[in-house]
Amino acid sequence: MDSSLRIGIIGGGGWLGGAIAGALLDAGLIEPHRLSLSFRKEQPQRFANAFWTTDNQALADRSDVVIFSVRPADWSNLAVDARGKLVISVMAGIRLGAISDRHNTGRVIRSLPNAGAEVGKSYTPWIASNDVKDGDRAIVRTIFDACGSQDEVTSETDIDYLTGLSGSGPAFPALLASAMMRDAIAYGLSEEIARRAVTTVLAGAGRLIEHREDCPDDIVRAFLDYRGTTAAAIEGMRAAGFDASVANGLSAAFKKSVSMGEAS
């Protein structure tokens, strides 16, 4: 990525926008003075020497690439002219055509990183509008590789589905961790021990799945074949509707993403 490129993040004071900014700076992809960030109420005390503003149009005017990191519900009030610029949306549900029409540019990327970007572990699917060139794609890959890993997908329907699967980021493991911790504490373990046990298990599981060649189903099957305590736990969870609950949750997220796009 060209070191002279200027990047602006509308919503850079928020969790995800700030995580992307931090990833870019940590990777040395941009100098702080070439990074612009907007905030709504109180300026965060981070990213020294970056340009902070409450004026989103001023941010866009001084940027070559503009990243929209605001809640979809707030986007309808965002009047920014990004004519001729590369716009990258990280907003769930908002369609390429709607972004292009409102912000006066044909160079639009719709993407969905997750909060794992804060620790360089986001997975980001993205799709490009027809006017996006190879050089634009290279910029997008570089930005999201700094946040973790990325894939260009072929349809906006793929993005809608992945909104739930990967866009939710650590929410699903956190939900499992919360349930496990509550059970451990109810059993009588101290909160400190329960937290350390649960977080270590989940962090270790993530690394194991990432580094083994087996798919997750192979790992589950290996535990089931052993017929030990883990098999008993898996069978108990499945009997209680674990698989169906996950499928229902992903389906609900997909439908929500589609409906948000229709509302825009």
- pLDDT reported for residue 50: 97
pLDDT at position 212 is: 86
Q: Is residue 164 part of a domain?
A: no
* Cα–Cα distance measured from residue 165 to residue 258, given in angstroms and rounded to the nearest whole number: 14
Instruction: Name the nearest CA neighbour of 17 among 79, 66, 74.
Output: 66
Residues 35 and 103 in one domain: yes
Q: Residue 96: which of 160, 21, 162 has the closest Cα?
A: 160
Are 133 and 176 contained in the same domain? Answer: no
**What is the spatial distance between Cα 20 and Cα 9, in angstroms, rounded to a whole number?**
9
Same domain, 106 and 230: no
Whole-angstrom distance, CA of residue 71 vs CA of residue 144: 19
Q: Which of 155, 187, 218 is the last residue of a domain?
A: 155
pLDDT, position 214: 84
Same domain, 37 and 87: yes
User: Is residue 163 domain-resident?
Assistant: no
Based on the domain organization, do 143 and 204 belong to the same domain?
Answer: no
**Which of 123, 155, 187 is the last residue before a domain boundary?**
155
Residues 194 and 146 in one domain: no
CATH number (domain holding residue 75): 3.40.50.720
Residues 151 and 225 in one domain: no
The verdict on residue 162 lying in a domain is: no
Last residue of a domain, one of 121, 155, 189: 155
Same domain, 29 and 97: yes
- The pTM score is 0.90
Residue 166 located in a structural domain: no
Is residue 149 domain-shared with residue 189, that is, in the same domain? no
Nearest to 196 by CA among 214, 183, 212, 177: 177
pLDDT for the residue numbered 68: 98
DSSP 140-170: HHHHHHHHEEEEE-S-HHHHHHHHHHTTTTT
What CATH number is associated with residue 223?
1.10.3730.10
Query: What is the number of domains present in the chain?
Result: 2
Does residue 1 form part of some domain?
no
pLDDT tens, N- to C-terminus, the chain (264 residues): 787 899 999 999 999 999 999 999 999 999 999 999 999 989 999 999 999 999 999 999 999 999 999 999 999 899 999 999 999 999 999 999 999 999 999 999 999 999 999 999 999 999 999 999 999 999 999 999 999 999 999 999 999 999 999 999 889 999 999 999 999 999 999 999 999 999 999 999 999 998 888 899 999 999 999 999 999 999 999 999 999 999 999 999 999 999 987 776
- Do 84 and 201 lie in one domain? The reply is no
Question: 104 with 203, same domain?
Answer: no
Q: Please check whether residues 224 and 132 belong to one and the same domain.
A: no
Q: Is residue 2 part of a domain?
A: no
Domain-embedded: residue 221: yes
Domain residue limits at 214: 171-262
